[in-house]
Amino acid sequence: MADIAAHTKSAASQSEAATQDANAAAIAAFEKRNRMGPFMWLPIIWLCIVIALALFAPLLGLLPADEMDFMALKAAPGAADGHLLGTDHLGRDLFSRVIYGGRVSLTVGFAAPAIGVGLGLILGMAAGYYRGWIDDVVGIAIDTWLAIPGLVILLLFAVVFGGSLFMVCLSLGLLFIPTAARITRAATMKYAGREFVLAARAMGASDRRILVKEILPNVIWPLIAFVLIDIPIAIVVEGALSFLGLSVKAPTPSWGGIIAEGREHLESSPHIALIPTAVMFLTVLSFNLVGDTIRRRMSDVREGAI
Amino acid sequence: MRFLLRRFQRLVIVMAAVTFVTFILVNVLPGDVAYEMAGMDASEAEVAEIREEIGLNRPLPIRYLEWVGGVFTGDWGRSFINEEDVWHAITQRFPVSIELMLLAQVMALALAVPMGMISAYRPDSRADRIIAGVAFASVSMPSFMTGLLLIYFFSLTLGWLPATGYEPLSAGLWANLKPMILPALSLALVEWTVLMRTLRAEMIGVLQEDYISLARAKGMSNARILWGHALRPSSFTMLTILGLQVARLMGGTIIIEQIFGIPGVGRLLIHAVYTRDFIVIQGCVTFFALAFVLVNFAVDIAYAWLDPRVRQGGKAHG
Amino acid sequence: MGEIILDVVNQRTAFPTKRGMLQAVNGVNLTLERGRTLGVVGESGSGKSVLARSIMGLLPRAAQTGPGSSVHLNGRDLTALSERELRPIRGREVSTVFQDPMTALNPTLTVGAQLIEGLRHHLGMPKRAARARAIELLRSVGLPQPETRVDQFPHQLSGGMRQRVAIAIAISCEPDLLIADEPTTALDVTVQAEILDLLQRQVRERNMAMILITHDMGVVAVRCDDVAVMYAGRIVEQAPVRELFQRTRMPYTAALLSSIPRITDGPHRRLDAIGGRPPDLIHPPAGCAFAPRCKFASDPCQGVMPALEGDERHRFACHTPLQVEAVA
Ligand SMILES: Nc1ncnc2c1ncn2[C@@H]1O[C@H](COP(=O)(O)OP(=O)(O)OP(=O)(O)O)[C@@H](O)[C@H]1O
Ligand SMILES: [Mg+2]
């Protein structure tokens, strides 16, 4: 028995030194998880390039997106002079078309979630703050909205309102209302009962003032994270719509539209469909990666603050 | 039983609202159906005649009630374009869409369940991270792009599977399935990621439960613990998502049926949209909504089957 | 001396955390003979459950077992075995009963299914025979109407009945060692005694060895043969029950003993009678971990870790042990 005790003792002092290292290693392992890797900065670089090209497209001296070059129909990338990424079946320069198409996708990508989350914010705050019949009406409206597949709603709107960029942004934005409204409603209800709101009301602040000054700053944060998820979704859905020819009207190029046109020539000239596919994929992927990282950071920060 | 009743009540309210909204959108907003039908260079008189003929001159509420009444009795109207009975047109094409969606969900589950398990078994391991990366790429690729790529590789390049077409089941099971594989896969490759992530998240929690430790303490193999003990209590949320996904999937089938030339309800709707065949659009939208609400109803029942506690009338997570 | 079933040598178990390594079990030595029951007592967080899980090899993946730790069960070193090699041993040679019967049974499987799978896996019983055996086992643990209960789900049983089921599962394959981790803490006082009786009877009838983890010195006094007192991941005093109660040496044990609940106390009273806080397991004090709370503490207590010393029967880790009359 005595030697077991001795054994224990020597092991204990031996482990003393090892403890320091083990501690450092354990802490390092936890920190490593939060480091920013290539999956953060590569997407950011890509997005910067795409956004800059789309933004400054008219200043870049590109070929007009709808100018047909009959000397180079369906030219593969690099095959015809002056057409970096080749041309489509009408001899239009794919590089210009993809960049100009990006303007449509990115506009919708930013505008639609902003519209949807904005409207959802107003509805959710009204429902969560006033409750009663407003809450009921908003609730039923949201359920109804959710009961129709999103793309069907968009088709319906496309038929009824036609395909202007504004209408596309608006109708796509409507799709983002339900979730945004639900999140806001829950958060509003949480804060409406808090002391600082009750205090403001006791001091005679109007409902509008309470909503804007006291509640809005608190409920807006979760929604920002939400917008980040919505951007790539909006781009994808716009792509689907324009693929079906129900987004902005031709000849305005859009990624989905170019892909749809390229589909007809997939066998002979796959590059017409595959190039915009690759660009759109990388863009959506980048938005997803960046959004995910930022969202994780934000929740870390909030956890840390508690 | 009580909760089924409550669900049913909600179902009715939502359906009333859906039909109403659809009706309003199609009938009140710009773009008069009669003009569409009469054609570009029709005279006012011709347009008026068409209005009279299809009953557009009568008051809106009456027309709505008539139409809703028709919906219940199976009279969904007739196409303005080719006179086809809308109900018949939909029900004839519906099984095709159902097959596509079912196949897609089965494929999505077949991908999601094993992948979710592998991820949940060792979170943050190399396998988990690879799966998460693949899932990220997968959701970033909308189904119409996936469909196109699948056609490019498997039909045009390799020539293994047909790019378009549809064969009825009467032509034989394989003949029927063969052209369905790529379209279903296009849908599944988007849908599986959500299922996988939900399963992973829930299973990570379940694997820390005492009863999993107990199963390990009993000497059960990992496979048995994952499939026999952990899968069921981990799949509640995934099942709900599976139901909710049907909405997205229905949107997805519209585009996929179009790409792969599959004669389902989605293709009917798109065709009606292109030809501005409003009564068919109205019918399809109502049908999609109805189907969706019913699917969610079914999900609730499946929930009760999965969790014996719900069966007893208690709450799911008590 | 009976046949030695369990021999734990220098068991150390640590968890990596954000603040550093948390040393939950820190050099524990134990031996257990067939037919005997060892009580393990200590405050919440003293490492009892982690010790139990270390013996079973059921630690979370992140946990690290120290070098030089070994767990010999029936003469075989479990720490040297792979997960696959452990499978025929778990449930067959060592099994366990958890604290909370609400969470220890799978809510989505019937009682029977959870019992039968072990019988089929370890004893290779055919389905029918396993089911009959399951019903028999349920009867032997005192579950009323075992024929109908066998097809019920855990939520249809009361807490006490669930714990009986858990015990039936644990003994189903006739293990040599049973580890019961606070098997009655989550139960009503009225059923606690019944469950402990049941455990004690099963251990005796089947000639098993048992480790009974508890907060309750009263339970130890009546149900155990030997006691090990744990503090901050170490055993600080170990002796046969009678010896420990009559000749307590370690001030911490004395404090635990003085906190034996009386009938007048509430049912879920914990060992909070000792003043001060349990030590930080990530940055433990250099000397005796109990010193900051000990009224007998002297200088060496602060600076030097006392070793677990004494004779074969009674060992304790203390620089300033309580005085007792010499054994006659
Ligand atoms: N998975 C884990 N990760 C990190 N620390 C853990 C883990 N499991 C246990 N611990 C820590 O190990 C220490 C010992 O825990 P343990 O559960 O063994 O205590 P206990 O003596 O069983 O207490 P109780 O009487 O409350 O059951 C505690 O400080 C606990 O926080
Ligand atoms: Mg414990």
Partner residues linked to A92 by β-bridges: A68
- Per-residue pLDDT at B229 exceeds 50: yes
Helix (H) or strand (E) holding A98: helix A94-130
Q: What angle do CA B118, B119, B121 make, to 5 degrees?
A: 65
Global pTM value: 0.81
State which CATH number among 1.10.3720.10, 3.40.50.1220, 1.20.1070.10, 1.10.760.10 fits the domain covering B91-263: 1.10.3720.10
Per-residue pLDDT at A306: 35
Joined tokens for residue A233: 């979704």
Which residues does A95 contact at the CB level (< 8 Å), separation at least 6? A62, A63, A83, A84, A85
Cβ distance of A150 and B152 shorter than 8 Å: no
Per-residue pLDDT at A283: 94
- Per-residue pLDDT at B301 exceeds 80: no
Which residues does B17 contact at the CB level (< 8 Å), separation at least 6? A140, A141, A143, A144, A147
Helix (H) or strand (E) holding B274: helix B265-275
- CATH, residue A187: 1.10.3720.10
- Per-residue pLDDT at B6 exceeds 90: no
- Per-residue pLDDT at B303 exceeds 60: yes
The closest-lying atom of ligand 1 relative to the alpha carbon of residue C281 is 29
pLDDT tens for each residue of A187-207: 888 887 788 878 887 887 788
- Per-residue pLDDT at B243 exceeds 90: no
Q: What is the mean pLDDT of residues A73-97?
A: 73
| Reported confidence tier of residue A304, pLDDT bands at 50, 70, 90 | very low
Helix (H) or strand (E) holding A105: helix A94-130
Per-residue pLDDT at C261: 57
Q: Which residue has the tokens 């299914």?
A: C113
Q: How far apart are CA B297 and CA B15, in angstroms?
A: 13
- Per-residue pLDDT at B315 exceeds 60: no
Tell how many helices (H) and how many strands (E) occur in chain A. Answer: 12, 0
Per-residue pLDDT of chain C in tens (328 residues, 90 and over written 9): 578 999 999 999 999 988 889 999 999 999 999 999 999 999 888 999 999 999 998 888 889 998 889 999 999 999 889 889 999 999 999 999 998 888 899 998 999 999 999 999 999 999 999 999 999 999 988 899 999 999 999 999 998 899 999 999 999 998 999 999 999 888 888 888 888 998 999 899 989 999 999 988 888 999 999 999 999 999 999 999 999 998 889 888 988 888 765 555 454 444 445 677 788 888 888 888 888 888 888 888 888 888 888 888 899 998 888 887 654 4
Classify residue C215 by its DSSP letter.
Answer: S
Joined tokens for residue B142: 């909308």
The angle that helices C111-123 and C127-140 make with each other, rounded to 10 degrees, is 120
Burial class (CB within 10 angstroms; exposed 0-12, middle 13-18, buried 19+) of B288: buried
* DSSP three-state, residue A92: strand
- Per-residue pLDDT at A79 exceeds 70: no
The closest-lying atom of ligand 1 relative to the alpha carbon of residue C43 is 25
Per-residue pLDDT at B125: 86
Burial class (CB within 10 angstroms; exposed 0-12, middle 13-18, buried 19+) of B229: buried
Per-residue pLDDT at C304: 84
- Side-chain half-sphere CA neighbours of A92 within 13 A: 20
Of B122, B218, B229, the CB nearest to C169: B218
Beta strand extents in C220-288 (DSSP E only): 226-231, 234-240
Per-residue pLDDT at A8: 42
Classify residue C90 by its DSSP letter.
Answer: B
Q: How far apart are CA C71 and CA C78, in angstroms?
A: 6
Of C27, C282, C312, the CB nearest to A8: C27
Minimum CA distance residue for ligand 1 atom 11: C24
Helix (H) or strand (E) holding C28: strand C20-33
CA distances from B304 to B228, B257, B308, B311 (A): 19, 33, 7, 5
Cβ distance of A144 and B21 shorter than 8 Å: yes
| A5 part of contact set with chain C, CB < 8 Å | yes
B-chain residues within 8 Å CB-CB of C56?
217
Domain count, chain A: 1
Q: How far apart are CA B312 and CA A64, in angstroms?
A: 68
Beta strand C309-310 with C315-316 is antiparallel
Q: How far apart are CA A187 and CA A222, in angstroms?
A: 9
Structural domain boundaries, residue A249: 43-54+98-302
Q: Which residue has the tokens 């900051």?
A: C292
Percent of chain A with pLDDT over 70: 79
**Beta-carbon count within 10 A of A26 CB:** 21
Of B67, B126, B119, which Cα lies nearest the Cα of B282? B67
**Beta-carbon count within 10 A of C177 CB:** 22
Domain ranges of chain B: 91-263
* Residue A106 distance to chain C (closest CA, Å): 41
pLDDT tens for each residue of B96-123: 998 999 999 999 999 999 999 999 998 8
| CA dihedral (C270, C271, C273, C278) positive or negative | negative
Joined tokens for residue A282: 């990388």
Cβ distance of A144 and B288 shorter than 8 Å: no
| A9 part of contact set with chain C, CB < 8 Å | yes
Instruction: For chain A, give the mean pLDDT.
Output: 79
Per-residue pLDDT at B120: 93
Is C65 in contact with C122 (CB distance < 8 Å)? Answer: no
- Per-residue pLDDT at A273 exceeds 50: yes
Q: Across chain C, which distance is largest between two alpha carbons, in Å?
A: 67
- Per-residue pLDDT at A10 exceeds 50: no
| Reported confidence tier of residue B49, pLDDT bands at 50, 70, 90 | confident
Beta strand C209-214 with C226-231 is unpaired
Cβ distance of C16 and A11 shorter than 8 Å: no
CA distances from C158 to B124, C63, C149, C155, C284 (A): 38, 34, 11, 8, 42
Is C215 in contact with C186 (CB distance < 8 Å)? Answer: no
Regarding the beta carbon of C48 and ligand 1, being less than 6 Å apart is answered: yes
Classify residue C225 by its DSSP letter.
Answer: S
Joined tokens for residue B55: 């009953």
Helix (H) or strand (E) holding C59: none
| C304 part of contact set with chain A, CB < 8 Å | no
Per-residue pLDDT at B83: 78
Q: DSSP characters for B179-232?
A: HHHHHHHHHHHHHHHHHHHHHHHHHHHHTTSHHHHHHHHTT--HHHIIIIIIHH
Omega before B179 cis (within 30°)? no
Residue A268 resides in a domain? yes
* Conformational region of residue C317, where left means phi above 0, alpha means psi within -120 to 50, and beta covers everything else: beta
Q: How far apart are CA C249 and CA B1, in angstroms?
A: 64
Per-residue pLDDT at C23: 92
Per-residue pLDDT at B39: 66
Per-residue pLDDT at A9: 41
Q: How far apart are CA B262 and CA B89, in angstroms?
A: 14
Q: Across chain A, which distance is largest between two alpha carbons, in Å?
A: 97
Q: What angle do CA B87, B91, B97 make, to 5 degrees?
A: 135
Q: How much is the ipTM here?
A: 0.84
Amino acid at B316: A
Q: How far apart are CA A211 and CA A189, in angstroms?
A: 11
More confident site: A35 or C88: C88
More confident site: A46 or B242: A46
- Per-residue pLDDT at A300 exceeds 90: no
Q: How far apart are CA B148 and CA C231, in angstroms?
A: 66
Q: Which residue has the tokens 């480790």?
A: C211
Rounded to the nearest 5°, which phi and psi values hold at A68?
-95, 135
Hey, what CATH class is C4-231 in?
alpha beta
- Per-residue pLDDT at A261 exceeds 50: yes
* CA dihedral angle for residue B227, residue B229, residue B230, residue B234, rounded to 10 degrees: 100
Nearest CA in chain A to B243: A147
Cβ distance of B210 and C98 shorter than 8 Å: yes
Domain ranges of chain C: 4-231, 239-328
Regarding the beta carbon of C42 and ligand 1, being less than 6 Å apart is answered: yes
